[in-house]
Each structure stands twice: as C-alpha cells, then as structure tokens.
A and B are shown apart, each in its own frame.
Chain A
Amino acid sequence: MAVQELELKPAVPSSPLLGFWNTFKKNRMAVVGLVMLVVIVFIAVFADALAPYDPKSYEGIQSGDVYNAPSAAHWFGTDDAGKDVLSSFMYGARISLIVGFFAAFISIFIGGLFGIVAGFFGGRVENFLMRFTDLMLVIPDLPLIVVIVALTRPNLLNIIFVIGLLGWTTTARIVRSQTLAVKSRKFVLRARAIGAGNWHIIANHILPLVMPILVVNAILVISLAILSESTLSFLGLGDPTAISWGQMLNFAFGRGAMSAGAWWALVVPGFGIVWVVLGLTLLGNGLEQVLNPRLEAHHLMPGRPTVQTEPVGDESASVEHKPTKRKESPLLLDVRNLSVNYVNEGVVAKAVQNVSFQLHEGELMGLVGESGCGKTTLMMALLRLLPAAGEIANGHVYYGGRDLAMLTEEEMADLRWKGISIIFQGAMNALNPVRTVGDQIREAISKHIPNYPPGTLEERVVELLELVGIAAEHKDHFPHQYSGGMRQRVMIAMALSCNPQIVIADEPTTALDVMIQAQILELLDNLRRKLGLAIIFVTHDLGVVAEMCDSVLVMYGGVTAEYADVDTIYNAPLHPYTQELLKAFPDLSKPERKLTSIPGYPPKLNELPPGCRFAPRCPQAFARCSVELPKLHELADAHFVSCHLVENGK
C-alpha cells in the first residue's frame, strides 16, 4: 500500500528532528514519561533550594522526633534519626539519578562499541566479542555485584563502575543485530563503491541508524541501573555517606520503621523508585514507537459503507454513463461516479473523483497511470478495503444487481474473494515462510468457504496449483523453495480459490524479470479464456497493457483522463496525458524516435491544482485549463476524454 502512504503523507517537516518532535508530541505515553522524568530531574537538580531541611545536619532535632507522623512542618514525616523524609527524598533523587545515568552511560558505551564492531566486522572479531558477551550474560549479575562491592570499598564511584561494567550485555546484542541489518542495506554498499573505508562507513552510515535503538535501550538501561543501585543500598552495600532512595529504605527497614508503623519512611523512597522507573519505561516504550514506525498500526478498515458526503457530480460534472456496448458479453461490474476521500486530521484529500467504468465477462481492462494517481485506491474502494482514513464519498459499484457501496460489512465480506478477488501488489513476498504453500492455499479456501467438504479440499489445492502451472509435487514445499515467478503464481491460485468472476491484479509483474513477466501475463490471459474471468490489470507499464488488454482506463490525479478500447488508446489517443505517456514508453520498433519524459510529477492529492489536474505538466495547456476542471466528454465510439481540447473539435 505504498501508493496510499505516499498520497497521505502530510507536508514534510524540514528536518528529521522537527519531524521527530511532531510525532513524539502525539505519543501520549512518551510525553507522560518525559514529564515524569523532567519533574524528578528538576527536584534532584534543585534539591538545595527545594528541600525544607538539610538532611545532613542535626540542627533543631530533638530526641523524641523519631518517626514523627506527617505534619505541616514535615509533610512526609521524619525518619529514624528525626530527619525530614521529604528532604532526604529530594537529595536521594540526586544520588539515585547520578548512579543511574553514569552507570548506564558506561554500559551503553561498552555495549554499543561491542555491538557495532561485532556486527560490522563479523568473522572472528564477532565470534570473540559475542561469545564473551554470552559468557557475561550467563553470570548472574546481582550475586557478582554483591561480591565485588563487598570486597571493594562501597563508595559511589565503585558502585557506578560495577553496575556499568556488568549491564552492557543486552545492549551489545541488540546493537549487533541492528548493525547487521543496517550493514546489509544498499547505501552501505554504495558508500563502499565510493571508496569509503570502514570507519567512515561506521561513523556516517551505521551509527546514525543504530542510534535510535541505542537511545531507546539507554533509557531502559538507566532504569535498570537505578534499580540495581537501590537493591545494593537496600542490602546495605551502598555508600553510607550518600543517601539514595535505596539507602533510605535500608535505614527505615533496618531501624524499625515497620514496627513503629512509620509507613511514610518506606513508602516515600519506594514511590521515588517506582516513579522514575515507570517514567523511564513509558518514555522508552513511547520512543520506540516513535522511532520505529513499523510498530505503528496500519490496518485496512473494511466495512465502512459509503458516506455520500458529496452530491453526485459537483465538480467534474459527471456524464451519465450508459453501459456501453463495447462487448457482446454480459455486463459484470458497473462503477459509476465513484469518489474516494482520505480524511487526515480534518484535511480532506480527494484521492479518486467521479470515476466510472464498466467491466464485461471475460474482459481484460488495463488501469494505467503513474504512481500516486489513485489506481490502487480505486481498486481498494471497489473491495471496500480502504485504509482507516479513506471513505467512499459518493458513487455506486453495481455488481450482480447490488450496489457494493451500500452493502453491510457482512454482505461485503461474503462477496470478497467469491465475487471479486485481488492479487495485492508485492503480496508474493508475504507468504508465511514456515508453512507449506499447499497449506496456505488450503487455509485460504477454508477461511472463505467454511463448509467446504474436507475430503475434496486436497484435490482442490492440487487443481488450483495445476491451473496456475505448478506441478502437484511442489504442494508441500515451503515458499523459500519457490522462485519469485512461482510465488506470484501461488498468489494467483489463491485469488482464484473461491471461483471469483472478477480478479483485480495490482502490478502483478512489476518486480519480475521480463521472461517471468511474460509467463505470468500468458497465464492470466489463458485463465480468463478458460474461466471466463474478467480481469482488471493495474499497471504503469503501457507495453503490458497493449499486449493483452481489451479496454484501458487512464487515470491522472484521481480522475479519469481517458477511457476507451485498447486500439483507440494507442492509435488515436486524445488526452495529452495519454499521448505523453506513450511517448515516454520505449518502442524498439521505432529506432529513430527519442524518448521523451513528462516533466514534473503527478500532483499531491492534498494540493491538487485548481483546474485540470494535468495542466501544470501539459504541453498543450491553455488559459482555461488552469481554471476549470474539464468535463468528461463522451465521443462517438464509447471513448471518454476529460480535456478541454476535445470540446473545440480537437
């Protein structure tokens, strides 16, 4: 669904940092975490000014002040020495955060270095570093820390180093796997081709892409370090001169706060630890979602019936489409004035506007246009599988005497696959790698026809595979044993599994070699003859369309540019866009012709030009084109063109 993402992309921010901040702001979890942290860091930094008492001085403390309950003078009571718990809490935040941050810094540095070096250089270096990491990983941290701290003098610096030097293993492993992933990307190869050395590549290409994961990991490591420090202090191994939250717990616990009923002496430092760790975890999870867009939910939203927000034919006045007699065979699908909007934060993008076409039994229609012209959106609207932001704004899709735009989701679900099925763009790469191909086809059948007689299911799988030219013995093979061409055949078999009348093929041959492409085209052509299928072939490749289609719908900027039979489109095109597209296509039968490309790019759907969508790139545009959207004119022989030039008698 790359096309739709492109179409939906909001105005791009000028720098990635700004873009990051914009996404970050929207993530409530991350913002809450950040606020929680800012509060505690603020308290720690300004403890001197904020704390009502100095926790180190015994000034003004009477002998009876032990475990005083909360009062106006001591909001959170006093501890075993009569000191103010709130003040200790504020100074304790300082110690806990210092240990957390510095220990995490050491861990991240070592782990990051090990991970990047191991992932990048591989081989022996990797083997040595990662086995060492594994070794460190199996040594239980806490007992080791206890032993080391017990043996050395328990001061703050020692504690920071011990926690830091033992906490890097997970970081190293995560960074290594990320480095491996980045290393295999093409821009690293390109950097090598430029002549760049290893360290240049690490600094300029690996590090910037490992950084996000390192940052997320760092945040979690900080919270682990704070927890470790608290544990150590609680066990009495902390620095007795530095009062951290763990130290407060230790004193309170060891000196009878429980028996004295002084809950505040335990709850307040405990709350501090929970607060920081929770804040860090929220921030970490939030950041991960922001930095790793793959975790963002992208779902198709089935079941939105048409909203009919627009009166039919407001702008590009719709021509009443009579079902044309292009074909003798019966009419299967009649799409009339279909419009699709994307609504993103209140902004309406008109992805498809008033598109009409008819499809007859056995007809092969080509749907042509550049990327971002609304082809995929139109097809998704037919199946009512638009992304969550998309909605059918008006129009009708008549199929089998019913209007698909009006059906409930249950009725529509029944029609999908059985009436109209689709071969998604790039879907051949989406086969489940751990299940056999036969298994996956079987699942596709039984999912859509739940009461399929199980006895004949196996036969059906074999029949479908043979239909698409795959021998039955490959049934129990896994997708990785199939080539790209064979996987695409499997996708076709799946689309045919419920005997649909119409198959939509969205760029089915784009990623394939010419010879495999020819095989797939031949297959589709045979299938429609054999099964009487009607096929809608979505592509940007005009050559393929000329080879096999009966009719062609050329789309531009979400509207119909030209719609006619294939011969008219190639030999008497009237819309300048069709003409330009044809000029851009290499034709080996005409050696003398120089290829021309269409300057510029299709309009973004959120900034459509006011007049004709194509006017800014049109070589024949005149004044009227940039003001008025041309009507869709029907010429004599069922030839539809939306261009002002046609009106003037060419």
Chain B
Amino acid sequence: MAQDYILEVRYLKKYFQAGRPGWFSRGDLFVHAVDDVDLQLKRGEVIALVGESGCGKSTLSLTLMGLEEATEGTILFEGRDITHASPKERKEIRQRIQMVFQDPYESLNPTQTIEEIVSEPLHVHGLATNPEERNDRVRRALEDSGLKPAEDYLHRFPHQLSGGQRQRVVIASALVLEPHLLLADEPVSMLDVSIRAEIINLLADLRQKRNISVIFITHDLGTVGYFADRVAVMYLGRIVEIGTMGEVLKDPQHPYTKALLSVIPVPNPRLRRKRIILQGETPNPIDLPKGCRFHPRCPVAIEACKLSDPPLQKVSDTHSAACLLLVR
C-alpha cells in the first residue's frame, strides 16, 4: 500500500513559540499553526487545501518543503522519512518537491532575466552542466508552462511581463527540475479572474502530461473547482473535513465547509441564495477554544461542542469530517 503514496503525513505538528522566550514572558505560549494533520497523497493526484488565513495551510506547506522544521509527526515522501532530513538530503529532495508561490510580483528577483531565473535551479543542483542541455531544459520548461516561443522571453526581465506570464515563469522554474510533487500556495489569488483559468488549466495539463502530484492551497474553493481530485478543509491547524471534490461539494458535512461553500460567488444573479456568513475571524491560534475549535463561530453548535474535541470520522470510504453532530 505504501508504494501508492507519493506523500504521507502522519500526526504532523508545527508549533511556534509565541514571542521571544525571556525572563518576563511565559515560556509555554505556543502558536498551534499545524496541529495533528494526517494526509495521504497518491502519485498524480491533486488535492486542494482550503481554509481562511491563519488556518495553518501555508505553514503546512512550508513544513512539507522543509523550510520549517516539524515539531512532531512524520513526513514520508516516496516512502522515505524526510521529517528531519539533513541539509544534504534536503537539497536532494528539493529536486523532487517544488513550490509555486502566491505572489508572482514578489517571488521573482527583479534583477534577473527569465533565463537566469529558470536556469537557476539547474545551477544550484549542478544539473545539466552542458550549456546545450541546459538551454534545452530551460526552453522546454518555459514552453511547457505556456511561454511560447521561449526565445521571446529568455532575455526579458520580470517587470516586462504581465502577472499571468510571471506566474508561468515561476511554474517553469519549478518544472525545470522535473519534480514529482508541486506545492502551489495560492498560485492564482493575486491574478485577474480572466487569467486564473489559464494557470489552473496549465497545472491540470502538467498533471496529465507529467503525472505530477499537486497540493493546491487556496482560501477560495471556487477557484480550484473541479481541477482537484480531493479537498481537505483546514480550520485552526487541523483538517476538519476531507473527501473527494464531488462529495465535499455536493454533500458537505462540517458546518465550516458548508459556510465556506455558501459564500463562493455564483456567476448567475438568478441563483442568489442565502449565504451562511460566519461572523468574526479565525481566532488566534495561541489560546485555542476548549472543545471543538470551531464552536465559537459555529452556527449550529450545541452545548456538547464546548466540551469535547471531535476527531475525524468516516462518512464514506473517501470522506471524513470532524463534527460532533455527525453522530446523530
């Protein structure tokens, strides 16, 4: 079974110390950024990680990338434990896990040409040292990312490209290493709606052509749409619902998922409907609410929710949710 998974995350925790430890501050204050996350990803699968800001989805991705050290739990990548990999192992793993960042305006160095940006990963890993081979790989990555013909872009600078083109450059610089897993952290949220579709379609093509697995992090389920196979909804560092896209969209179980789905705008004024608008914002992850983490904002919370913290329960083979009301 283990062979099937490209990534297995078990009981992953990432806590940050709140404030600087010092004489006058309490040493036991922690930000529970990621708290007991369990996740399996099959080869070639796309999973959407959804939640509001502060739910820990970005910390989770940085921890998976090894840019943050996990506090507890294990991360298995292609069957191998990479939770506490040495810097040397980490460098090797990075050839196979790559990341696409949210802000294409900030994530490109303004002083580098596109060619330098896309070939940089090859330099760093000492791959394709022969200039012809290197050019070839850079060109292929650019064209696979939809920047055709690559020659038109090689000698340009990021500021000469539009937002969508820049995001393609970011994707190309991740693809040039031929990764097996791509972590996309809000890759379209800074882009115009008209351009979002092309980036999503590009990722969908890549998955089909290269069998890349994708973790797509977003705060807006609407943008992922049916591109993802599965969806995991996070709230305050924990997965509260996980299932196939169809199941979660058609039959959401957790009240938080229901609310998130209800506020996705539907582009049809005839379908205006009652939205479940949660008041307030995600509470601060230092002082977690007792009981279910969601109960202070939950529209259907009952007395019992203040007392016990529900674990994920199976609704079907592929669908689980963490809510006390499920039992009934």
Which positions in A face B, CB cutoff 8 Å? 12, 14-16, 185-187, 189-197, 200, 204-205, 208-209, 370-371, 483-485, 513-519, 522, 540-544, 546-547, 549, 566-567, 570-571, 580-582, 584-589, 591, 594-599, 601
Q: How far is the CA of A205 from the CA of B224 in the complex (A)?
A: 32
New A-B pairs, 13, CB < 8 Å, besides A194-B173, A205-B109, A595-B225: A186-B102, A189-B67, A193-B65, A193-B67, A194-B120, A195-B124, A197-B91, A197-B124, A208-B109, A514-B260, A570-B267, A595-B197, A596-B197
Q: CB-CB < 8 A to B98: which residues of A?
A: 193-194
Q: Which size bracket describes the interface of B in this complex?
A: 35 or more
Query: Among the listed B111, B263, B268, B279, which residue makes an inter-chain contact with A514, where contact means beta carbons less than 8 Å apart?
Result: B263
Stretch at the interface among B135-143, B187-195, B314-322: B187-195
Whether B194 contacts A584 by the Cβ 8 Å rule is yes
- Contact A589 B220, CB 8 Å, known A194-B120, A514-B264: no
Q: How far is the CA of A591 from the CA of B268 in the complex (A)?
A: 15
Stretch at the interface among B15-23, B39-47, B155-163, B288-296: B155-163
Q: How far is the CA of A514 from the CA of B281 in the complex (A)?
A: 11
Query: Among the listed B53, B120, B159, which residue makes an inter-chain contact with A204, where contact means beta carbons less than 8 Å apart?
Result: B120
Which positions in B face A, CB cutoff 8 Å? 52-53, 65, 67, 90-91, 94-95, 98-99, 101-103, 106-112, 120-121, 123-125, 155, 157, 159-160, 162-164, 170, 173, 177, 192-198, 200-201, 219-226, 246, 249, 259-261, 263-272, 275, 277-279, 281
Q: CB-CB < 8 A to B281: which residues of A?
A: 483, 485, 515-516
> How distant is A584 from chain B, measured CB to nearest CB, in Å?
4
Q: CB-CB < 8 A to B159: which residues of A?
A: 12
Q: How far is the CA of A194 from the CA of B221 in the complex (A)?
A: 28
> How distant is B145 from chain A, measured CB to nearest CB, in Å?
14
> How distant is A206 from chain B, measured CB to nearest CB, in Å?
10
Q: How far is the CA of A455 from the CA of B215 in the complex (A)?
A: 57
Whether B268 contacts A570 by the Cβ 8 Å rule is yes
Whether B277 contacts A518 by the Cβ 8 Å rule is yes
> How distant is B165 from chain A, measured CB to nearest CB, in Å?
8
Whether B124 contacts A546 by the Cβ 8 Å rule is no
Q: CB-CB < 8 A to A205: which residues of B?
A: 109
Q: CB-CB < 8 A to A601: which residues of B?
A: 162, 164
> How distant is B47 from chain A, measured CB to nearest CB, in Å?
17
Output the residue of B67, B106, B266, B279 with the most chain A CB within 10 A. B266
Whether A204 contacts B112 by the Cβ 8 Å rule is yes
Whether A587 contacts B266 by the Cβ 8 Å rule is yes
Q: How far is the CA of A596 from the CA of B65 in the complex (A)?
A: 31
> How distant is B206 from chain A, measured CB to nearest CB, in Å?
15
> How distant is A391 from chain B, measured CB to nearest CB, in Å?
27
Whether A546 contacts B266 by the Cβ 8 Å rule is yes
Query: Among the listed A484, A515, A542, which residue makes an inter-chain contact with B267, where contact means beta carbons less than 8 Å apart?
Result: A542
Q: How far is the CA of A516 from the CA of B219 in the complex (A)?
A: 11
Whether B101 contacts A544 by the Cβ 8 Å rule is no
- Contact A193 B267, CB 8 Å, known A16-B111, A187-B107, A204-B109: no
Interchain residue pairs A-B with the least CB separation, the first 10: A543-B265, A597-B198, A195-B94, A595-B197, A518-B263, A597-B197, A186-B106, A208-B111, A186-B107, A586-B225
Whether A194 contacts B277 by the Cβ 8 Å rule is no
> How distant is A292 from chain B, measured CB to nearest CB, in Å?
13
Whether B67 contacts A514 by the Cβ 8 Å rule is no
Whether B193 contacts A194 by the Cβ 8 Å rule is no
Whether B101 contacts A190 by the Cβ 8 Å rule is yes
Whether A588 contacts B225 by the Cβ 8 Å rule is yes
Q: How far is the CA of A567 from the CA of B220 in the complex (A)?
A: 25
Q: CB-CB < 8 A to A549: which residues of B?
A: 269
Q: How far is the CA of A193 from the CA of B196 in the complex (A)?
A: 23
Query: Among the listed A517, A594, A598, which residue makes an inter-chain contact with B194, where contact means beta carbons less than 8 Å apart?
Result: A598
Q: CB-CB < 8 A to A587: which residues of B?
A: 225, 266-268
Q: How far is the CA of A205 from the CA of B123 in the complex (A)?
A: 14
- Contact A585 B121, CB 8 Å, known A16-B111, A194-B173, A517-B263: no
Query: Among the listed B160, B201, B226, B267, which residue makes an inter-chain contact with A597, where contact means beta carbons less than 8 Å apart?
Result: B201
Q: Specify the chain A residue showing the minimal Cβ separation from B160.
A: A12
Q: Specify the chain B residue showing the minimal Cβ separation from A550.
A: B269
Output the residue of A189, A192, A514, A580 with the most chain B CB within 10 A. A514
Q: Specify the chain A residue showing the minimal Cβ separation from B55.
A: A513
Between A and B, 9 residue pairs with Cβ closer than 8 Å are: A204-B109, A370-B194, A514-B263, A516-B281, A582-B267, A587-B225, A587-B268, A596-B201, A597-B194
Q: How far is the CA of A543 from the CA of B222 in the complex (A)?
A: 10
Q: CB-CB < 8 A to A193: which residues of B?
A: 65, 67, 94, 98-99, 101
Whether B103 contacts A585 by the Cβ 8 Å rule is no
Whether A195 contacts B120 by the Cβ 8 Å rule is no
Q: How far is the CA of A14 from the CA of B157 in the complex (A)?
A: 8
Q: Specify the chain B residue showing the minimal Cβ separation from A485.
A: B281
Q: Specify the chain A residue showing the minimal Cβ separation from B219.
A: A513
- Contact A570 B106, CB 8 Å, known A485-B281, A519-B279: no
